[in-house]
Amino acid sequence: MKRNTFFLIVILLLGSGILHAQSDKDEDQQTLYTLLYAKQYPQAKKIIEDKFLRSNDNSRKVIGYAYLVNYYSFSKDNEIKKIEALEKAKKLAKASKDELDDAYVEFGNALYYENLELNDPFVKSVNRSINIFSKYSDENFMLSVLYFIKYRFINRNYINVENEYVQSDIIQTNKYAKKSGNALLINHSYNILAYYYHKKFYENKTKTSDERTKLLDSADIYYQKSYEFAKKVIEPAAQKKALVTYFSNYSSLLLAITPLDKQKCLDMYNNVLKLSLGDTQLIDFTCGAYNDMGYLYEAMGDYKLSEKYYLKAYDIAITSNNLGLTNKIAVFDNLSRLYQRMGQYGKAFHLERRARKETEMSIEKLTNSTRSLDVFYRTERKNQLINQLEKEKKSLVRENLLYLGMMLISIVALIFLIRLTKFRQKLSMQKNELLEAEKQETQLILQLEREEKARIKAEQDLLVANQEKLKKIALTTSMRLNYKTSFIKDLKSRMNDKPDIKLQQILKEDQLNDNDFSEMENLIENIDPDFHKRLKEVSKSRLSNMDFKYASYLYLNMSNQQIANILKVDSNTVRVTKYRLKQKIGLGKDEDLQAYIQNLN
């Protein structure tokens, strides 16, 4: 038995919308989307013209022309107007070079191809539009609409519900709808989620009973969520349609649930009729409710009531121009089947002929659409040729300008290089002169410094020499004073011991010693000035002044007796002092102190 299980579910997909940049915040576009969904065409046309086409912003005009494609999709014989609107949108987008304008043009193309059921062009256009809008964080409303029409196209063309792209498009529609916060879009997204699981139930008859029950439960949950958001839609006509869609879709779900709750189904149909009767914009829902009520009574075996409601649906199908071919054929087939069961074959044959006629009329419309598509393609080819010629012209102009620019740049560069070379030569000469002057100044400074250092060194050497000379004078004077002091002491001692001492002999001895001192003074004058310094360096212990005296005597090659005579000390004292000096210098037992000191320098 045939039945139109998705007859009214598809009807909810008739509304669509397109939005500009920041569509999440654009009230004009969201209002327009709502009016188009509710089939409030005069009000929608007014918004298109007032808010978009008359705007000073060309990007708003692009959106307006794309909306016109959507608007003309709901009326007949407007193929040329759709093409004109698309051409205007493309022209403005080309001039603006704004990728969001291109996104709206592609969206308009997608709507046009969808209406002609051209799969490849539709998919390319809608995907291009999605790719652009996905770059922006505030285009959730627009992205939800785009994924929604992708799903709508797939559903209308009966593509397998298990297709991964179908699932992805449904999920993305719901995801972006919730982000946008638009109640109507959220209502749409939950409707198609519910229908997805509802359809999977019928297409997965091989699954277990529990698995199929879970599918129905999921569909039930999402239908209830769609109902919650349908009540939140503010615009009255749109809210009415959303509620009617829910009652119609949910009644179809009830037919799949076992056991069948016939009264609940009838309540859903009556809710549809209560809202849709008398409303010409909802006549398709009225027809669908009568058709489904006829099917329910036919299943119950009540052919008289079934015929009654089928005939109500039939009257609408033959008088309304808004019903699709599939929906009309479903009514004709259902009523024909009923008459065959009732034995009224003449009526059944008449209905079959009527169904064939509707099919032929639909084919003729498709032919007209094909012609309009051919016009569109010819226009596209013409535009492509014009665009190609314009590009070639622009390319030629650009090349000429490029050559001219290159010549000018070359001339300017040559002049610049010549001036730069001259400037560098002049700068180099100045630098050389400056370096030469600096070199001469440096040499002069160095010469002055060397002379100054030589002068200072000479003064230092003279000072050192004077100091050494004074040291030597001090040494000889000290030695002579020590000797005279010792001589006087010795003379007093002798005179006290021997009053009759021979003074003349003692003075003669003193004279001889004076001669020795004169000779010693000459030797001291020849002592190396660095002798004391070197002696300090080689000594292991600190030397006293007396040590330096003994070292000087030894350096002058004086014997122990000579040293004893000069210092008026005992020879043993000289030996002991020399031994101590040897230890302070750090010589071994076998080393000769006098030889060491004389070879020190």
Examine residue 274 and state whether it is found in any structural domain, yes or no: yes
Rounded CA-CA distance 498/6 in Å is 166
pLDDT of residue 98: 92
Per the rule left: phi > 0, alpha: psi between -120 and 50, beta: everything else, 257 is beta
Confidence of residue 358 (pLDDT cuts 50, 70, 90): confident
14 pLDDT above the threshold of 60: no
Examine residue 504 and state whether it is found in any structural domain, yes or no: no
Confirm if 169 and 147 have CB atoms less than 8 A apart: yes
Examine residue 90 and state whether it is found in any structural domain, yes or no: no
- DSSP letter assigned to residue 235: S
36 pLDDT above the threshold of 60: yes
- DSSP letter assigned to residue 540: S
* Of 321 and 29, the one with more pLDDT: 29
Of 291, 308, 326, the residue that ends a domain is 326
Please state the φ and ψ torsions of residue 363, each to the nearest 5 degrees.
-65, -40
Is there a cis peptide before residue 259, judged by omega within 30 degrees of 0?
yes
Least confident segment among 22-31, 358-367, 445-454 = 358-367
Range of the domain at 593: 518-600
Q: Is the dihedral of CA 88, 94, 98, 100 positive or negative?
A: positive
Least confident segment among 102-106, 213-217, 307-311, 351-355 = 351-355
Examine residue 461 and state whether it is found in any structural domain, yes or no: no
Rounded alpha-carbon distances, angstroms, from residue 98 to 91, 137, 138, 388: 12, 17, 17, 20
pLDDT of residue 359: 74
Of 279, 295, 326, the residue that ends a domain is 326
Tokens describing residue 369? 């659409």
pLDDT of residue 8: 37
Of 326, 341, 372, the residue that ends a domain is 326
Rounded CA-CA distance 84/301 in Å is 54
Examine residue 224 and state whether it is found in any structural domain, yes or no: no
Say which residue the tokens 């019928």 belong to. Answer: 202
State whether residue 569 is helix, strand or coil: coil
Rounded CA-CA distance 79/373 in Å is 8
pLDDT of residue 20: 46
Confirm if 501 and 570 have CB atoms less than 8 A apart: no
Examine residue 550 and state whether it is found in any structural domain, yes or no: yes
Spell 307-342 as b/e; 16+ CB within 10 A means b.
bebbebbbebbeeeebbeeebbbbbbbbbbbbbeee
Confirm if 132 and 103 have CB atoms less than 8 A apart: yes
pLDDT of residue 206: 77
pLDDT of residue 16: 37
pLDDT of residue 367: 54
- Helix (H) or strand (E) run with residue 276 in it: helix 262-276
376 pLDDT above the threshold of 50: yes
Rounded CA-CA distance 429/414 in Å is 23
CATH number at residue 540: 3.40.50.2300
What percent helix, strand, coil does the chain show, rounded to 5? 80, 0, 20
Examine residue 595 and state whether it is found in any structural domain, yes or no: yes
Rounded CA-CA distance 558/9 in Å is 139
Give the number of residues written for the chain: 601
Q: How many domains does the chain have?
A: 2
Say which residue the tokens 């006629």 belong to. Answer: 357
Rounded CA-CA distance 294/313 in Å is 9
Helix and strand totals (H; E) in the chain: 22, 0
Please state the φ and ψ torsions of residue 529, each to the nearest 5 degrees.
-60, -25
Q: Could you give the percent of the chain with pLDDT greater than 90?
A: 35
Confirm if 553 and 563 have CB atoms less than 8 A apart: yes
Examine residue 476 and state whether it is found in any structural domain, yes or no: no
* Of 105 and 533, the one with more pLDDT: 105
- Helix (H) or strand (E) run with residue 298 in it: helix 283-300
Rounded CA-CA distance 310/294 in Å is 5
